[in-house]
Amino acid sequence: MRIHLDEAIQLLNDAHVVAVPTETVYGLAASLRHLSAIEQIYSLKGRPRANPMIVHVNHVDRIKSFSLELPPQFNELALAFWPGPMTLILPVNTSLIPSLVRSDLPTVGFRIPKHAVTLALLKETGPLVMPSANLSGKPSATSPEHVEEDFGLNFPVLDGGNCEKGLESTILCYQKDRWVILRLGSLEPAAFLSVLGYEPEVILKTDSSKPLCPGQLFRHYAPKAKLLFGDSIDISEVSFIIGFKERIYPKEKRIIHLGSLLNPNEVAENLYKVLRQLDQEKAQAAWVDMDFPSDGLWQTIRERLTRASEIK
């Protein structure tokens, strides 16, 4: 059910869960003031309780009011990238943020999204807890239709059209004496060079059973179809190919284009739509053309496709 801003404000203030657009992906929002609504997000998504949620606000002063101490260069990062697709993990005063949101960690991820309607919403509701608006493990939702696919036509969605970026925010935390990237996202690592004076190291998976970013533990972004890569695959076995406009693939296959090899922004915007399309078309398996660049946003695109291909 598509709803307007006023209705979204009312529902959130009345402890309901609402899907909300951001520039990255749609989020499932609950007010930080309503524990029952936060509980509901975990059950709606089928999300493990060990996977904490990002708190979204409309102003950096809100973040400062929750934090214990701000790491070096926090202000510079905030000024350069907020509102925008950056999430910073910060140590917080745990009495101010329910442990349900933090999965008992002493830290919280914060973000100021760059979306006019959602900033207007946050101004009225105060902080919103907001994971991506998809069933746990599935590709994120980048349009109202995707949200409805996962949660039904009656689920309230604040309609903001298609998400501009199509990939989640880049997550950073401060470790020892440096910022590091815990999740690749819409902001490429090189974007931080001019602000920090260095490119943050990317630490995606550790062997530890307690990774820095709990989301790394769980299967992600995956359609039902098996995704196959590489030249050694016998593609006579698959009827779907995911590839690029410029390339020529066997005509008898169902070819779904991610976009142009010259335009990683376009590919990022389309990625989850394409993965969801495989399910809509009831694909069993698809071969993915992974012969694309490795720099910048392509690195995130490759990581998402690789995660989506992992067997449960």
Among 83, 131, 200, 264, binds ligand TXA (CB under 6 A): 131
Query: Is 96:74 a contact under the CB 8 Å cutoff?
Result: no
The footprint of Mg ion on residues 153-182 (CB under 5 A) is none
* Six token digits for residue 88: 């910073």
The footprint of ligand TXA on residues 200-219 (CB under 6 A) is 212-215
Q: Is 142 in the site for Mg ion (CB under 5 A)?
A: no
CB burial of 169-195 (b: ≥16 within 10 Å; e: otherwise) equals bbbbbbeeeebbbbbbbbbbbebbeee
With CB under 5 to 8 Å by kind, the binding choice for 309 among Mg ion, ligand TXA, none is: none
CB of 142 to ligand TXA, least distance (A): 11
Among 41, 128, 157, 171, binds ligand TXA (CB under 6 A): 171
CB of 216 to ligand TXA, least distance (A): 7
Q: Is 24 in the site for Mg ion (CB under 5 A)?
A: no
How long a stretch of residues is the chain? 312
With CB under 5 to 8 Å by kind, the binding choice for 44 among Mg ion, ligand TXA, none is: none
Q: Is 31 in the site for ligand TXA (CB under 6 A)?
A: no
With CB under 5 to 8 Å by kind, the binding choice for 165 among Mg ion, ligand TXA, none is: none
With CB under 5 to 8 Å by kind, the binding choice for 296 among Mg ion, ligand TXA, none is: none
Comparing CB distances to Mg ion, the nearer of 132 and 300 is: 132
The footprint of ligand TXA on residues 94-123 (CB under 6 A) is 102, 105, 107-109, 111, 113
Phi/psi of residue 150, each to 5°? -85, -35
Among 132, 142, 186, 309, binds Mg ion (CB under 5 A): 132
The footprint of ligand TXA on residues 43-102 (CB under 6 A) is 51-54, 85, 87, 89, 102
CA 56 – CA 129 distance, rounded (Å): 6
With CB under 5 to 8 Å by kind, the binding choice for 269 among Mg ion, ligand TXA, none is: none
With CB under 5 to 8 Å by kind, the binding choice for 254 among ligand TXA, Mg ion, none is: none
CB of 168 to Mg ion, least distance (A): 6
The footprint of Mg ion (CB under 5 A) covers 132
The footprint of ligand TXA (CB under 6 A) covers 22, 24-25, 27, 51-54, 85, 87, 89, 102, 105, 107-109, 111, 113, 130-132, 168-169, 171, 182-183, 212-215
